[in-house]
Amino acid sequence: MSEQTFGLTKLALLNTAGYGKCVLPLDRSVSVCAPNNTGKSSVINALQFPLINDMRLTEWDGHSFEETRKFYFGSDKSYVLLEARLPGERTMTIGVAGRGKASGYQYQYFCYQGALDLGHYTEGKAIVPYGRLFERLAERGCQPQELKASELNALLTGGATPYDHLHMKLIPLNNVSDAPVYKEIFRRMLNLHKLSAQDVKGFMLKVFDRHFSNARIDFLAVWHNAFDKVNRMRAQLAAMEKESQAVQALENLLDGRAVLKGKLAAYQPRLDEALVQWHDHMDEKTQELARRRELLADEKAGLKDRNNFYQSQLMELGGNKKALEQWLAEYDGLYQDFALVDEATLAANIQSLKAEYEALIGLLASVKAQPLSAIERRLKELRRQLSSNKLQFKNLEYNLYSRLREDLSPGEVAELSRLLNPDLLALSTAKGGEVAIEDDGAFGDFLEQVAGAIRGQVMHLPGATIDLSHLASHSFSSAEDKLVLKETIEQQEAELELLSAQLRVAQDLEARLAEKAALERQVEEEQAALRGFKRFDEMRSQYPERQAQFDTLAEEEATLREQLEELRALESRINDELLQLKVREDQFKRQGEVLERAKALRIDDQLDLVTGRKTPYMIDIRLDMDGLADSLEHFNRECRELRDHDLNISNTYLYLVRQGISQFDGDPDEESRCQKLINYFHNLPAEREVIARQARTALVDVAGTLTSLRSDLHRLHGEMERFNRGITRHPISNLKGFKIEVVDRPQLVQHIDTILETSKRYEEGQSFDLLDLNQPTDDKALAQAKDYLIKVGTERAGLTLDDLFDIRFRVTDRAGNTESYDKIDSAGSNGTRITIKLLCGMLFIRQLLSEKERGKYLIPLYIDEAADIDPSNQRAIIDTARHFGFVPIFASVKPQIACEVVVPIRTTRDGTLNLVEEKDWIEVEAPALAPEALEA
């Protein structure tokens, strides 16, 4: 191994996997120590992101990739960083950065030339988010480059990328295509406790893959394919004998097709010629019909002009007639209303209604001018006055007032009237009246005494005086005032009637208002009737003249309509003739359409009327233009019949194929295939001999297929012998010897050899009945081999190299004791088991590396629960790993002083974050410190 080595030198985690910060050396053996479940595996598993970078090949201790991604890259300040030393004294930094929750916890690869400086990723105590990282790196002289996973993989393994100038080949594979195999083995080396013998076997096949044919043999299919042709030929022979009637039917169909081909081939050119002539015939007929239609159209146009003239006259006449009809209808209506009415009656009705209307308006106006209570008071007072005046008028000459005037002076009468009720004074003194004077003297004396008691408007009574100045003196009319009194009574009666009317109006004002509106409408209606009467009186004189005009117009209209009917009859005759022309044109057109449809339905261009066998048609062909469409349709029917013959021939042939007669499918020409089949049918005895010869080569084909698989097993033995010889050139941990042996599965390999040897004997002249898979063979061993290989191949979906062998681990310890193990975990000590697993992983990875660069690039590997391995074995493992180009990382609860560096994981006081800084590294120097000192 070269003294100078390259590869990864440092791993750093920032804000990821439960670590605030973690820095580990990768170029020296390391002991990572911390209590269980503290995060040791999380640190090592982080290497999968940059070094495997194909997440389909990663493993996360049972967690889903989505959970893992969130665990490692929960924010855009989460980083997994690697530092690598490269030839030319170059240093590279490779990073994986989180993009945060918004991106679904995705991450981004990047790299740049330069040493890993965690100060570039922080500002004070804060971590720089990825969005600002490139700007910060650029400020510090770095030129970061974002990479896709495929680009980073190509850079690490030496594949072609746009970034080849970075020269970052840390995993110098012999072939870039081995990258997936390398990643799978590397992942298992990070989880050695899961590595099994079956995994090692799988790695072995993948590592040496290019040396093998990688055949997967479906032995059942191989056997069937080899004997399929023979069996098909025999099946076809049997089917041909069984389906003799179908073969004869096919022969008849071929003969019928030849007859149809001959007839159609003769008709085809004659029809094409007639179709060309049809177009001239159609043009001639079309022009003749068009000329006659044009003449009729001209005649129809002349009729149309006359019809338009009559229509215009009829329209004008109709307008005049309609005006007269409206005038006469108006006169009839007025006649019904006013024939028995005169103007004076209508005027009197209007005056009467107007008077009633105006009286009601006056009442409503007076009612609005005074309240109801005032009307009622005035009415009561007027009734009292009227009653008094009527009493006076009745007893005007003989009443008590007149009697007082006889005995008393006018002044005394006036003073006395203050005391008496006016109605009392108006009472009659005549015989039978209300006042009966039995003694005039005594009555007169009494009156004088009463009058004498009144002096100066003061009445003196015994013990009292009464001031009468406040009482009104009543005046009564004398006989000479009778006429005046009568007029007063009449006025009061009229006023009383008016007040009563006003009272009735005031008591039902809404009804009186409605009555007013009704009277107003009646007045308007009567006025309208009067106007109508005047219109009627005016029209009455014009009626005879207007009626005569209407009768004249009616006669003229009847004459015009008769002339129009004559025109319509002529037009109908022309239309009938045009319709007949149209029918003839349509018939001719339909005949053309039928012909066109028949032409469109022609399939003779799709039929092969030229090549192939056909029978000549010897009958003379004559075509008539009027029956051309029928001739073409008959031609089309026979073309379809020919097509049906073709279809029936194809179906009959396919039926025979389905019955097992398929050996003629290789011929591209159908008629040739069918003719060959018929010829075969007529030559069956010779075909039986051909089948017998074909069976003799089938077994050789089967053996040839198995030869590649048997050769792969032979080459695998050779490769593993060379591989094991390469192991013995190097010290192997605490073991003296180690081999991975290929152990053939005897039964399977023996049966393959049986078929190969039997095939060889057959070529030497022996014969076997191998024509049918279901028939027993003459060689019992061959039959057993065939059945067994079919059974195993079917169970395993094909035979591969993997099915032919198992592996065994042959271990020789330092004392010279040799043991073999089929399973790694069945090996004796934990140290031996770990050593076997490490050797297998390292040796297979080393096999994938370029031979001239093996050991130059150190690759980290992980060993969990390292405390189970004794210190001397640990040192041996470290030395062996160094020889093969690997650097081990031991994980344990306690520090392992066999390593060069001890890295304890510490936890923050609140227990939320783990921390590992470079200042925490403990360099282990010889003589090694005791574990107790390191723990202290």
pLDDT of residue 314: 74
pLDDT-based confidence at residue 929 (cuts at 50, 70, 90) = very low
Instruction: For residues 48-77, give the mean pLDDT.
Output: 81
Provide CB contacts within 8 A for 197, sequence distance 6+. 807, 809, 821, 822, 823, 824
pLDDT of residue 935: 39
Provide CB contacts within 8 A for 321, sequence distance 6+. 550, 553, 554, 557
Collapse the DSSP code of 650 into the 3-class scheme (helix H, G, I; strand E, B; otherwise coil) and give the result. Answer: helix
DSSP E strands in 456-503: the ranges are 458-461, 464-467
- pLDDT greater than 60 at residue 68: yes
- pLDDT greater than 80 at residue 807: yes
Distances 318 to 143, 164, 930 between C-alpha atoms, Å: 104, 105, 138
pTM of the model: 0.50
pLDDT of residue 744: 87
**Distance separating alpha carbons of residues 518 and 356, to the nearest angstrom:** 11
- pLDDT greater than 90 at residue 393: no
Collapse the DSSP code of 296 into the 3-class scheme (helix H, G, I; strand E, B; otherwise coil) and give the result. Answer: helix
pLDDT-based confidence at residue 856 (cuts at 50, 70, 90) = confident
pLDDT of residue 729: 65
> How far does Cα 259 stand from its chain's mean position?
60
Cβ count within 10 A of residue 674: 23
* pLDDT tens digits, 588-602: 788 788 888 888 888
Instruction: For residues 70-92, give the mean pLDDT.
Output: 92
pLDDT-based confidence at residue 125 (cuts at 50, 70, 90) = confident
pLDDT of residue 351: 72
Maximum average pLDDT range among 192-206, 251-265, 345-359, 487-501 = 251-265
How would you write 25-87 as a 3-class SS string?
A: ECCCCEEEECCCCCCHHHHHHCCHHHHCCCHHHCCCCCCCHHHHHHHHCCCCCCEEEEEEEEC
Nearest to 789 by CA among 705, 714, 713, 716: 705
pLDDT-based confidence at residue 394 (cuts at 50, 70, 90) = low
Cα radius of gyration (the chain): 70
Strand partners, 744: 805
**Distance separating alpha carbons of residues 446 and 440, to the nearest angstrom:** 10
**Distance separating alpha carbons of residues 17 and 74, to the nearest angstrom:** 9
* pLDDT tens digits, 287-330: 887 888 788 777 777 777 777 777 777 787 777 777 777 787 77
- pLDDT greater than 70 at residue 764: no
List, as one string, the DSSP characters of 312-366. Answer: HHHHHHHHHHHHHHHHHHHHHHHHHHHTT--HHHHHHHHHHHHHHHHHHHHHHHH
Least confident of 39-53, 127-141, 436-450: 436-450
**Distance separating alpha carbons of residues 101 and 394, to the nearest angstrom:** 127
User: Secondary structure of the chain: what % helix, strand, coil (to 5)?
Assistant: 60, 15, 25
Cis-peptide into 668, omega within 30 deg: no
- pLDDT greater than 80 at residue 466: no
Collapse the DSSP code of 285 into the 3-class scheme (helix H, G, I; strand E, B; otherwise coil) and give the result. Answer: helix
Chain mean pLDDT for the chain: 78
**Distance separating alpha carbons of residues 885 and 1, to the nearest angstrom:** 8
Task: Report strand pairing: 122-123 vs 126-127.
Answer: antiparallel
Collapse the DSSP code of 451 into the 3-class scheme (helix H, G, I; strand E, B; otherwise coil) and give the result. Answer: helix
**Distance separating alpha carbons of residues 227 and 220, to the nearest angstrom:** 11
How would you write 721-742 as a 3-class SS string?
A: HHHHHHHCCCCECCEEEEEEEE
**Distance separating alpha carbons of residues 478 and 265, to the nearest angstrom:** 156
pLDDT-based confidence at residue 501 (cuts at 50, 70, 90) = low
* Four-residue CA torsion sign, 526, 528, 532, 537: positive
Give the H/E segment covering residue 447: helix 440-452
> Angle at which helices 179-189 and 830-848 pack, to 10 degrees?
160
Cβ count within 10 A of residue 182: 23
The answer to whether the beta carbons of residues 878 and 29 sit under 8 Å apart is: yes
**Distance separating alpha carbons of residues 57 and 353, to the nearest angstrom:** 118
Task: Report strand pairing: 79-86 vs 818-821.
Answer: unpaired
pLDDT-based confidence at residue 406 (cuts at 50, 70, 90) = low
State the DSSP code for 368.
H
**Distance separating alpha carbons of residues 519 and 514, to the nearest angstrom:** 9
Tell me how far apart the terminal alpha carbons of the chain are, to the nearest angstrom: 38
Amino acid at 826: S
Q: Quickly count helices (H) and strands (E) in the chain.
A: 27, 21
Least confident of 296-300, 478-482, 875-879: 478-482
pLDDT of residue 160: 72
pLDDT of residue 772: 43
The answer to whether the beta carbons of residues 645 and 254 sit under 8 Å apart is: no
**Distance separating alpha carbons of residues 932 and 936, to the nearest angstrom:** 6
How would you write 139-191 as a 3-class SS string?
A: HCCCCCEEECHHHHHHHHHCCCCCCHHHCCCCCCECCHHHHHHHHHHHHHHCC
What is the percent of the chain with per-residue pLDDT over 70, rounded to a whole number? 79
pLDDT-based confidence at residue 358 (cuts at 50, 70, 90) = low
Nearest to 2 by CA among 846, 857, 683, 761: 857
Length of the chain: 936
**Distance separating alpha carbons of residues 825 and 812, to the nearest angstrom:** 16
Better-scored residue on pLDDT, 115 or 435: 115
**Distance separating alpha carbons of residues 501 and 356, to the nearest angstrom:** 13
**Distance separating alpha carbons of residues 486 and 388, to the nearest angstrom:** 12
Residue 850 phi, psi dihedral angles, 5° rounding: -60, 130
- pLDDT greater than 50 at residue 770: no
The CA-based angle 55-189-149, given to 5 degrees, is: 25
pLDDT of residue 926: 58
Distances 440 to 208, 407, 408, 427 between C-alpha atoms, Å: 182, 10, 13, 16
**Distance separating alpha carbons of residues 557 and 313, to the nearest angstrom:** 9
* pLDDT tens digits, 810-853: 888 777 788 888 887 776 677 677 777 888 888 888 888 877 77
pLDDT of residue 108: 94
* pLDDT tens digits, 644-660: 888 898 898 888 888 87
- pLDDT greater than 70 at residue 775: no
- pLDDT greater than 90 at residue 115: yes
The answer to whether the beta carbons of residues 752 and 789 sit under 8 Å apart is: yes
Task: Report strand pairing: 464-467 vs 458-461.
Answer: antiparallel
Strand partners, 14: 21, 79
Instruction: For residues 893-915, give the mean pLDDT.
Output: 88
Cβ count within 10 A of residue 173: 20
**Distance separating alpha carbons of residues 135 and 219, to the nearest angstrom:** 63
Instruction: For residues 859-883, give the mean pLDDT.
Output: 84
Least confident of 420-429, 500-509, 923-932: 923-932
pLDDT-based confidence at residue 470 (cuts at 50, 70, 90) = low
Cβ count within 10 A of residue 70: 15
The CA-based angle 164-887-9, given to 5 degrees, is: 50
- pLDDT greater than 70 at residue 432: no
- pLDDT greater than 70 at residue 156: yes
- pLDDT greater than 90 at residue 77: yes
Give the H/E segment covering residue 460: strand 458-461
What is the percent of the chain with per-residue pLDDT over 90, rounded to a whole number? 12
Least confident of 342-356, 428-442, 470-484: 470-484
Residue 363 phi, psi dihedral angles, 5° rounding: -60, -45
Give the H/E segment covering residue 6: strand 6-16
- pLDDT greater than 60 at residue 73: yes
